[in-house]
């Protein structure tokens, strides 16, 4: 799969995890907000990778950005935001496991290859 398609797929799956994570906790953000977060998180990870950073930094850097943007879009108290973020992270991990194991797609968490 070429880089552009991998990027689009990673943005889509990341955005879906934010959107459905917020729906599951009954604190839904808009599809546009989820897409903005997904695009920002994946873009930051891609830029970090392009700069030649170590894999642990490529995985670590996008987390605070996604957390902060989710907080801004939700406009909810910290405990509710935290529950939503944990739910999102759990969905993101499940999506990664499925994509990595069955489809050999490792762009969601590059350091955690399961296939």
Burial code of 53-83, b = ≥16 C-beta within 10 A, e = fewer?
eeeeebbebbeeebbebbbebbebeeeebee
Instruction: Report pTM.
Output: 0.90
Residue 104: per-residue pLDDT? 85
5-32 per-position pLDDT tens digit: 889 999 999 999 999 999 999 999 999 9
Q: How high is the pLDDT of residue 34?
A: 97
What's residue 114's pLDDT? 60
Pick the closest to residue 14 from 45, 39, 49 (CA basis): 39
74-94: per-residue pLDDT in tens? Answer: 999 999 999 999 999 999 999
With 0-12 CB in 10 A as exposed, 13-18 as middle and 19+ as buried, what is 20? middle
pLDDT the model gives residue 58: 86
């Amino acid at each position: 799969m070429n880089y552009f398609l991998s990027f689009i797929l990673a943005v889509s799956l990341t955005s879906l995890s934010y959107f459905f994570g917020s729906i599951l906790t009954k604190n839904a953000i808009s599809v546009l907000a989820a897409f903005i977060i997904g695009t920002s998180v994946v873009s930051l990870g891609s830029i970090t990778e392009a700069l030649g950073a170590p894999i642990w930094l490529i995985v670590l850097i996008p987390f605070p950005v996604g957390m902060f943007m989710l907080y801004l879009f939700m406009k909810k108290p910290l405990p509710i935001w935290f529950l939503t973020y944990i739910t999102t992270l759990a969905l993101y991990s499940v999506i990664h496991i499925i994509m990595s194991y069955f489809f050999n797609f490792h762009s969601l968490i590059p350091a955690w290859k399961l296939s």
